[in-house]
Amino acid sequence: MSGSASWESHQVDQATAGEPDAARHRQLVAAFLAASRGGDFDALLTLLASDAVLRSDPTAAQSGASAARGAHAVARSFAGRAKAARPALIDGAPGLVWASAGRVRVVFAFTIADGKIAAIDILADPEHLERLDLQLLAG
């Protein structure tokens, strides 16, 4: 699935989420960020669906982001990392961003299903990022 197709699916999932689900999604992303920063592999595993996937758009892939499939592989990709990531709303959905020189360079878009993180899409294409409604949050 292409990055844009997966992001469109993510938007549909988020658009149909009720307010309690939106709050739970924010909690999941915040817990994921904390576990990632702290290198807590076991905590990452509890947040990820067993068949979780990590995808990257071509720009992110050129920068070294790699795909991963399965909770263990995705958790290994993030454990001890994301130190500079910041919580954000991405088109109204909770996610993470990485910024440099005051400009968002990478977006981490989350797909939540059945109370777990099912997918993370790493988006770095500048033209795509410009079309997103990004709101940086405290944290």
- Tell me the CATH architecture of domain 3-136: Roll (3.10)
Q: Is the pLDDT of residue 44 over 50?
A: yes
Domain boundary assignment for the chain:
3-136
- Residue 45: per-residue pLDDT: 97
- pLDDT average, residue stretch 56-84: 94
pLDDT beyond 70 at 5? no
Predicted pLDDT at 20: 65
81 pLDDT band, cuts 50/70/90, is confident
Q: Give the chain's mean pLDDT.
A: 87
pLDDT at 114 over 70: yes
The tokens for 14 are: 């988020």
